[in-house]
Amino acid sequence: MPVPPIRLFLAGAALALQPLAAQADSIDGTWCAPIDGRTLRIAGADFTTPGGSRIIGLYGRHDGAYTVPADEPGAGGQVLLRLMGEDLLQVLEPDSLPLVWQRCRPADLSS
């Protein structure tokens, strides 16, 4: 399912307006969704999606993207990632508004 051009434009504009000072660390690590407990793991271009799929994504030290695997909600859509601070990651999933995920703490991962 292709993403409408206006959606890509708006997503790009939203990401471009984030403060440059946010580029303090890298997107590598494990990130926790703010509401439902999903996690996203990033180690360079190796991603483990919230659905548990291990894939190769587009990796930049402060941003990234991946295509949602066929067996997960939003299959075929693009997820855009942008570091907003050492512990904050903006995640734009297909058909949703951007959310800010937090770097997971060890206690978040023990459940």
- Distance of alpha carbon 71 from alpha carbon 85, whole angstroms: 31
Q: What is the pLDDT of residues 49-74, one digit of tens each?
A: 999 999 999 999 999 999 999 999 99
Q: What is the pLDDT of residues 21-34, one digit of tens each?
A: 333 489 999 999 99
Residue extents of the structural domains in the chain: 5-103
Judge whether residue 7 has pLDDT over 60: no
Q: In whole angstroms, how far apart are CA 106 and each of 98, 103, 110? A: 25, 10, 7
pLDDT of residue 107: 73
